[in-house]
Structure 1
Amino acid sequence: MNKQTFALVVIRISLGLIFAIHGGAKFAGGIGGTAAFFESISIPSFLAYIVATIELVGGVLLIFGVLTKIISALFVFIMLGAIFTVKGPLGFLDGYELEFALIAMSVTTFIASDWKTVFAFVPTTKQITEVSS
């Protein structure tokens, strides 16, 4: 495995871990609290279940390289939602810097994956070459 491939795998697995842990925490702490928070900022409470599920299941799938393009795109939308509904007014520092970094990681993962591959724990050399061309 070359350095570029290794770097992409580290980014993808780290991103998956972060989202899986955050999604799991939403369920472990009682999803009702997250649903109530969503309601308090005028977001339908049922979306808390959808977001937490995408974070947990999507994070695990991303760790194993399953559906990486779809999952990373969903993560971008979730983070944009967090920025525009909650974190934006706080500014970059102590606000949305984490969401910004997660968007960058998600976009990197999106670009590095392809639509043809459903599962790729480690991207093939061909995939890496196609991305860098």
Structure 2
Amino acid sequence: MVRNEGDDGAMNDAAHGRLREYNKWTENHDVVFIECMLDLVQSREVEYGNLKKGGFKKLEAMMVKKILGFNLNVRSRHHWFKNKYNAIYDVQNGSCSGFGWDESKKIIVADDDVFCTILGFNLNVMMFFVQSRHCC
């Protein structure tokens, strides 16, 4: 089956002549997602950093109530946010030795030698360096 991406973000299934919409997470979706996650934490639906049984269904139901027509995968977004949180937590709390966090700018900081040594080994941290001034 051949699929071509159209100008409008829809996918054209060439074998069947159908269009399939691929929705994407927006900033608004992320804000509502985090609000719903905070509600779940307060209602004790999260234990040891993980949702309890049935938690994803509750999260999805909460998202549907807050965003009309919501149909995105909450499990994959939860995983995405968890990876980002863990990478930042590692930097802030010293498990990525030599890196630090600039609270005023909300950015990761490091000495040049530390940056070049560690950057290639920790891909979770590497994605936060957008336009690096370093040349390794």
TM-score (structure 1 length as normaliser): 0.30
Higher share of residues assigned helix: 1
Larger radius of gyration: 2
TM-score (structure 2 length as normaliser): 0.29
Higher share of residues assigned strand: 2
Name the structure, 1 or 2, with higher relative contact order (CA <8 Å, separation 6+).
1
